[in-house]
């Protein structure tokens, strides 16, 4: 198999590290270089010691543009635009950006949620990877939005692990704050709401309902749990059948007829969904790994689609279970 010459820009953080772990073992990928300004000259295994014995790569601050067929951008939010203005890659290079910089439809990037935009992604060479909360919420509600079931406010709560805040320490990410603690942030104003609404309008141009989202910081490392609900007059079985039909061709989004828990999704590229009908509401649980289906795993899924590979190539990962 001819391997795709690939580079990662910003490979020292959590998402960059996950990309490294996935791409080093991807059957169609040749990692040409990994870039980091802060870690230049260091062995990758000094920064990501779990990769000892798996790579001899050294971080570089030199950006090679020619000959790169796939480029993953793991830069902090707000830095990707400037990077691409400074470093021009060939038109046929597939660029997958994991920041917020190109997720809005005013840019020429395709929004990389495969369950909604699979055919567009297959033809794209600029892909904006969705946000982690955005992924969990959109997959929880997309079938309902498509069938115009939502006729009023949608209530959503979501809790994320500490890795969702990135590797740089802040007051609310260090151990002494997070352990044995839960807190709310960005009440009703989370930045992912913009891309979520954009997708829902794409799915159903008539959609205009309010999404009231309460995000929580969790006292665990990784994973996202979403609970969403709205008034629903239909039967649970009909909703279940509609969800199963909507995701029948999606290799990573699974609708479970039994209760789910977060550990079933952690360390996988899956989104697990479970539906309930309670007190006149359709309730949807959604569980993903914020670093995989919410970031690097979904980026590799988009890489696979863009290069005509099997969608699950390099992503057959097992949950940690315990």
Catalytic residue among 70, 94, 128, 132: 132
Q: What is the DSSP letter of 213?
A: E
Distance, in Å, from the CA atom of 123 to the CA atom of 139, rounded to the nearest integer, reads 22
Distance, in Å, from the CA atom of 263 to the CA atom of 221, rounded to the nearest integer, reads 11
Residue 205 burial by Cβ neighbours in a 10 Å radius (0-12, 13-18, 19+) = exposed
Is 132 annotated as catalytic?
A: yes
Q: Which of 141, 189, 191 is nearest to 165 (CA)?
A: 191
Rounded to 10 degrees, what is the CA torsion of 305, 312, 266, 322? -170
Cα–Cα distances in angstroms (integers) from residue 14 to residues 97, 191, 232, in the given order: 15, 20, 39
Distance, in Å, from the CA atom of 109 to the CA atom of 123, rounded to the nearest integer, reads 11
Q: Are 40 and 59 in contact (CB under 8 A)?
A: yes
Q: Active-site positions?
A: 132
């Amino acid at each position: 198999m001819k391997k795709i010459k690939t580079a990662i820009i910003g490979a020292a953080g959590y998402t960059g590290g996950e990309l490294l772990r996935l791409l080093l073992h991807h059957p169609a990928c040749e990692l040409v270089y990994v870039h980091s300004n802060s870690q230049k000259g260091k062995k990758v295994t000094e920064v990501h010691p779990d990769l000892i014995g798996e790579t001899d790569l050294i971080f570089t601050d030199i950006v090679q543009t020619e000959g790169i067929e796939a480029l993953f951008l793991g830069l902090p939010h707000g830095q990707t635009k400037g990077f691409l203005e400074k470093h021009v890659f060939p038109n046929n290079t597939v660029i997958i950006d994991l920041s917020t910089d190109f997720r809005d439809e005013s840019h020429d990037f395709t929004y990389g949620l495969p369950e909604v935009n699979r055919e567009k992604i297959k033809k794209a060479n600029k892909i904006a990877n969705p946000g982690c909360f955005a992924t969990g919420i959109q997959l929880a509600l997309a079938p309902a939005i498509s069938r115009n079931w939502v006729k009023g406010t949608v209530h959503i709560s979501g809790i994320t692990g500490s890795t969702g805040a990135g590797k740089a320490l802040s007051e609310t990410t260090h151990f002494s704050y997070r352990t044995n603690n839960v807190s709310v942030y960005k009440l009703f104003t989370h930045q992912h709401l913009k891309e979520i609404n954009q997708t829902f309008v794409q799915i159903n141009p008539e959609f205009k309902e309010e999404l009231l989202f309460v995000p929580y910081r969790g006292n665990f490392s990784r994973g996202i749990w979403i609970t969403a609900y709205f008034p629903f007059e239909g039967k649970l079985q009909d909703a279940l059948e509609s969800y199963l039909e909507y995701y029948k061709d999606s290799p990573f989004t699974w609708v479970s007829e039994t209760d789910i828990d977060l550990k079933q999704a952690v360390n996988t590229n899956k989104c697990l969904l479970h539906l309930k009908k309670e007190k006149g509401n359709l309730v949807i649980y959604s569980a993903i790994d914020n670093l995989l289906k919410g970031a690097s795993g979904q980026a590799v899924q988009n890489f696979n689609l863009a290069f005509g590979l099997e969608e699950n190539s390099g992503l057959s990962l097992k949950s940690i279970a315990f």
